[in-house]
Homo-oligomer: A and B are copies of this chain.
Amino acid sequence: MFKVKVFIKRRPSILDPQGKAVEKGAELLGLTNIKNTRIGKFIEFNVDTNNRIDAEKEVNDYCKKLLANPIMEDFEFSLEEVK
């Protein structure tokens, strides 16, 4: 079995209004050094197979077809084998 971590970020060219909004909140709370907040997703799951190649293919499909929006997001993932 593999334990997988996926990181999804908006492309740098895409605005992040959610990040801007929280940052504005930070400023109002006196946290004035916080800049350029970008909010993405962090997804964890297991892939129930012992073959790394199969697992990577399945994770890649999962990210492309369901987890990330290919128009405005990029993704990265890491696999760690667990017994």
Contact = CB atoms under 8 A, between A and B. Distances in A.
B9 A62 contact: no
B25 A49 contact: no
State the number of copies, please: 2
Contacts of A9: 42, 44
Contacts of A23: 45
A8 B7 CA distance: 12
A65 B29 contact: yes
18 contacts: A9-B42, A26-B62, A26-B65, A26-B66, A29-B65, A33-B49, A33-B54, A33-B55, A34-B48, A34-B58, A35-B45, A35-B47, A36-B45, A39-B42, A40-B42, A40-B43, A40-B44, A41-B42
